[in-house]
């Protein structure tokens, strides 16, 4: 149980210490250790001084008491109490710490004292020294502080006892002065420690803060960051290693950009070639094949008008119906390859015709909302959005088993967002790559080609939402597919 409690405390302390800055740690360690050592030294020095001063006070009391006992012997024997009283007063005046002096005869009567008019009777029983005692010291607690009461026998106790009280007033004053001086010294030491900690903090954190700032810039893609080598220590080695790392990252990023540029140019070329080929094939289907089929339709209609044989007339009618259906399919194929409305009227009109035709063909309710403003988008973006919507709705018709779908194209300040939703059976988005959903992969590839992104939200039985965001770049950045 105790081990667990200590472990909890250690974990709490480590979490707290790890959450503060290096500057706070340095200040805390320097100032804390300095303050702790100063307080410990002050307490120890004070305790030593108190013991030494107490010992000095006791020794002074014993010395004064023995001197009084020796000098009072003759005066007591001749019963010169006046001279004895003067001796006590003279002795007290010579020592600042002497609180009182008095002499007691063997019967316990006070022969002389320095208390003035009234003698405190309670002191008589506070201390005593027998004839064979060298001295006897008691510590008395008074209203003015502690008093060391020293009793020394006079003439081996036959002439009485001399009592001297040594006050601790001087001791306390000395301790107070020493403590004050030590406090001033501690303040000076703490001030010096604060200055040292400030300098040390600046010395250590400045290169670290430079590394942090450079690292944040690198995390945002700025590999040109370099930090100066402040000193030939571990932090200097770290700065050198950081500079080498950013140099390698810059080279790798440049190589990656070149590869991405080549890849982008290749994809742009492929897509441009596809669109050109689609446009050419659509034009051929519209201008050549459709016209030829239309001519055949006219010819069959003329034959049908003059034919008199019922069997031949039925065959001609069937041929005209098949030819009409083929003409419609060729027209639809030409529109799918490259709708003329996309080139002539813009994205909104082309999507409107496509969604209307898709709804009629697949019998699925579809809603279209387009907010792109009055100005047309760049051709490459219009083509990409049209193909994305075309591919997404084709996937809905083939796989979703949906009863309704919706398409939203919204032009925001810096990008164009396209959202295609359906209420179909849905799927797990994590299986897109694994199961080879080529349509969704094609949508993602078209979006990434224009530095956009695709997000899929779906779940089994919950329908599917495809979000595509394409940034609006400058014509130089987007390029123009012709």
| Domains with residue ranges and CATH for the chain | 17-179 (3.30.450.20), 345-482 (3.30.565.10)
pLDDT band at 478 (very low <50, low <70, confident <90, very high): very low
Q: Is the pLDDT of residue 481 over 50?
A: no
Supply the pLDDT for residue 55: 87
Q: Is 148 helix (H, G, I), strand (E, B) or coil?
A: strand
Separation of alpha carbons 398 and 64, rounded Å: 119
> Pick the residue with more confidence: 285 or 72?
72
Q: Is the pLDDT of residue 232 over 80?
A: no
pLDDT band at 447 (very low <50, low <70, confident <90, very high): confident
Instruction: Fill in the DSSP letter of residue 116.
Output: T
For the stretch 15-57, pLDDT in tens is 665 666 777 777 777 778 888 888 888 888 888 888 888 888 8
CB 402 within 8 A of CB 364: yes
Least Cα distance to 467 among 405, 419, 427 occurs for: 419
Q: Is the pLDDT of residue 413 over 50?
A: yes
Supply the pLDDT for residue 14: 64
Q: Is the pLDDT of residue 474 over 70?
A: no
- Tell me what the mean pLDDT of segment 390-400 comes to: 89
Q: Is the pLDDT of residue 437 over 80?
A: no
CA torsion 363-279-444-378 (nearest 10°) is -110
Least Cα distance to 426 among 417, 437, 418 occurs for: 437
Q: Is the pLDDT of residue 477 over 50?
A: no
Instruction: Fill in the DSSP letter of residue 131.
Output: T
Close Cβ partners of 167 (under 8 Å, ≥ 6 residues apart): 97, 98, 99, 144, 145, 146, 147
Supply the pLDDT for residue 51: 86
CB 159 within 8 A of CB 71: no
Q: How far is CA 67 from CA 62, 100, 322, in A?
A: 8, 14, 149
DSSP secondary structure string for all residues of 453-481: EEEEEE-TTS-EEEEEEEE---HHHH---
For the stretch 135-155, pLDDT in tens is 899 988 888 788 989 999 998
**Tokens, residue 152:** 């020394």
Give me the percent of the chain exceeding a pLDDT of 70: 88
Residue with tokens 């008691």: 138
Q: Is the pLDDT of residue 290 over 50?
A: yes
Q: What's the whole-model pTM score? A: 0.44
Q: Is the pLDDT of residue 312 over 80?
A: no
């Amino acid at each position: 149980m105790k081990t667990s409690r200590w472990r909890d405390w250690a974990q709490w302390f480590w979490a707290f210490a790890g959450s503060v800055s290096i500057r706070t740690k340095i200040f805390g360690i320097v100032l804390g250790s300095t303050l702790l050592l100063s307080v410990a030294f002050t307490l120890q020095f004070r305790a030593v001084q108190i013991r030494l001063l107490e010992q000095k006070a006791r020794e002074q009391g014993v010395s004064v008491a023995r001197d009084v006992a020796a000098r009072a012997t003759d005066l007591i024997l001749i019963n010169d109490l006046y001279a004895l009283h003067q001796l006590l007063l003279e002795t007290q005046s010579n020592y600042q710490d002497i609180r009182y002096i008095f002499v007691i005869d063997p019967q316990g009567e006070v022969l002389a004292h320095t208390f003035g008019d009234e003698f405190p009777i309670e002191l008589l029983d506070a201390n005593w020294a027998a004839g064979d005692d060298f001295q006897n010291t008691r510590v008395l607690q008074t209203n003015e502080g502690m008093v060391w009461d020293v009793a020394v026998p006079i003439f081996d106790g036959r002439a009485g006892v001399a009592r001297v009280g040594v006050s601790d007033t001087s001791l306390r004053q000395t301790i107070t002065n020493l403590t004050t001086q030590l406090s001033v010294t501690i303040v000076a030491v703490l001030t010096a420690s604060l200055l040292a900690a400030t300098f040390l903090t600046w010395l250590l954190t400045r290169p670290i803060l430079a590394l942090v700032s450079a690292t944040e810039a690198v995390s945002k893609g700025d590999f040109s960051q370099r930090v100066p080598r402040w000193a030939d220590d571990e932090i200097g080695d770290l700065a050198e290693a950081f500079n080498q790392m950013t140099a390698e990252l810059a080279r790798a990023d440049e190589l990656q950009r070149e590869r991405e540029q080549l890849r982008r140019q290749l994809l742009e070329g492929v897509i441009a070639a596809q669109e050109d080929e689609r446009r050419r094939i659509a034009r051929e289907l519209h201008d050549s094949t459709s016209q030829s089929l239309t001519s055949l339709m006219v010819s069959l209609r003329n034959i049908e008008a003059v034919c008199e044989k019922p069997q031949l007339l039925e065959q001609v009618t069937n041929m005209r119906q098949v030819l009409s259906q083929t003409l419609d399919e060729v027209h639809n194929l030409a529109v799918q390859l490259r709708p003329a409305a996309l080139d002539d009227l813009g994205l909104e009109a082309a999507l409107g015709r496509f969604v209307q035709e898709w709804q009629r063909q697949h019998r699925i309710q579809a809603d279209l909302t387009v907010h792109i403003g009055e100005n047309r988008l760049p051709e490459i973006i219009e083509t990409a959005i049209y193909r994305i919507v075309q591919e997404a709705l084709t996937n809905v018709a083939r796989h979703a088993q949906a009863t309704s779908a919706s398409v939203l194209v919204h032009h925001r300040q810096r990008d164009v967002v396209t959202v295609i939703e359906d209420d179909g059976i849905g799927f797990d988005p994590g299986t897109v790559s694994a199961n080879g959903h080529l349509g969704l992969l094609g949508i993602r590839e078209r979006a990434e080609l224009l530095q956009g992104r695709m997000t899929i939200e779906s779940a089994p039985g919950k329908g599917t939402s495809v979000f595509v965001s394409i940034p609006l770049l400058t014509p130089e950045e987007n390029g123009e597919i012709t």
